[in-house]
Amino acid sequence: MRFGLWRGLKGLLDYPTKTVAKIGSGSGGMMRGIAGALFLGLGLISATHAQAAGEAAFYKGKTVKILVGGASGAAYDFVGRAIAAHMGRHIPGEPSMVVENMPGAASLVMMNHLYNRAARDGTAMGMPLNGIVLEPRLRSLSRDGTNVHFDLSRMRFIGTPAQQPQVLWVWHETPYRSFDDLRAMPSNFGSTAPGGDNFILPTLANALLGSQMKVITGYKGVNDIFFAAESGEVHGATVNFSSLLGKPDWMQANKARVLVQFGTERLHNLKDVPTAIELAKDENARQMLRVYATKFKTTYPILVPPDVPAARLKALQAAFDATMKDKAFIADAEKIGIEVTPLSGPEIEKIMADIDRAPSDVIHQLRHLVN
């Protein structure tokens, strides 16, 4: 930014003498305007330098925490650690960064802590499960709101490193070759618990798309469901697409057949797989599926508590944006099956505004199905 501003000032200083001469009696006003612009520009440069120096002085020698609302060894933990390994280099003052896992109640434990107890000076960030972005309207994690002790509208987003929807897959030896087969024949799908996407999405598909999936809960995690599919205990499941990419042996041998994806649009590497929105037969169902799909645009949301100073917030957002272009970070993300498709903090806040504008009747119907 400083160099672009200096080039603009230099252009003013190099303004052609002949052109100024042609202006005649107005040349004095022109020169005063140029001088004013010069002093204003130099003032902006000085303020930018001072601001950067101030943030560097604040962060130097400090530690920035990323509170992850999931358990260690899971996808959110891996992503949080990859960001922590690289983002500090891009923050003024180059603070160290650490990850602290704070699982519980689908990230409500972490969010309540971040909002009420964490530092509000730019040294604490949170990465909740992406269902948090819908919680103010759907109330799927706390139906009566008694377990929610934060106001998401007062928190600010830093960004998300990826936009990854859940996909519905079946084991390659099953008879299901398209979503129409799931409509025509009963099937068994594995799930961890009723509050998870691997329960909610098959339930939504049954209600809105006409499938006949029986959801079997009780599996401890995604890997247990994978084993259950291999043994024939279940036919498939819904899962974050990155989890399938993390099984290259399956993908190379086409052992997992992806039948539908739950994002707002098709992924570039799943161009032949329809979205649930496309499969819906009426606009009401499409609206509900579209609202729910917005959370997958913020797959790994990072945010800060209220009242972080504006300059510090901007520094963190800029550092995140720079990290997303960092070749070392991108290489580490690829190792854990994450395709870096980031959104900035302001872009996420536009998505939050879209969620707020969703029609109340659509939200009411979706809340009933999800809960």
Residue 52 tokens read as 């950067």
User: 21 lies in a domain?
Assistant: yes
CB 121 within 8 A of CB 312: yes
Question: Residue 37 burial by CB count (10 A; 0-12/13-18/19+): exposed, middle or buried?
Answer: middle
Strand pairing partners for 236?
Answer: 170, 189
User: 366 lies in a domain?
Assistant: no
**188-247 residue pLDDT tens:** 999 988 878 999 999 999 999 999 999 999 998 888 999 999 999 999 999 989 888 888
Average the pLDDT over 96-112 and give the result: 94
Angle at 289 between CA 285 and CA 294, to 5 degrees: 150
**300-323 residue pLDDT tens:** 999 999 999 999 999 999 999 999
Mean pLDDT of the chain: 88
- The neighbour count for residue 325, using CB atoms within 10 Å, is 11
The reply to whether 101 and 144 lie within a common domain is yes
Strand pairing partners for 124?
Answer: 65
3-class DSSP assignment, residue 189? strand
**237-295 residue pLDDT tens:** 999 898 888 888 999 999 999 999 999 999 998 999 999 999 999 999 999 999 999 99
The CATH code of the domain that includes 341 is: 3.40.190.150
User: 370 lies in a domain?
Assistant: no
User: 286 lies in a domain?
Assistant: yes
User: 362 lies in a domain?
Assistant: no
Please state the domain count of the chain.
3
Residue-number span of the structural domain to which 79 is assigned: 63-161+300-357
End position of a domain, from candidates 33, 53, 73: 53
The reply to whether 127 and 198 lie within a common domain is no
User: Could you tell me what percentage of the chain is helix, strand and coil, using 3-state DSSP and rounding each to the nearest 5?
Assistant: 55, 15, 30
The reply to whether 172 and 223 lie within a common domain is yes
Residues composing the chain: 371
Q: Is the dihedral of CA 133, 139, 140, 146 positive or negative?
A: positive
Q: Above 70 in pLDDT, residue 93?
A: yes
3-class DSSP assignment, residue 158? strand
Distance CA 66, CA 101 (A): 8
User: 211 lies in a domain?
Assistant: yes
Amino acid at 118: A
User: 68 lies in a domain?
Assistant: yes
Listed residue (273, 107, 288) closest to 201, CA to CA: 288
Listed residue (267, 256, 270, 275) closest to 341, CA to CA: 267
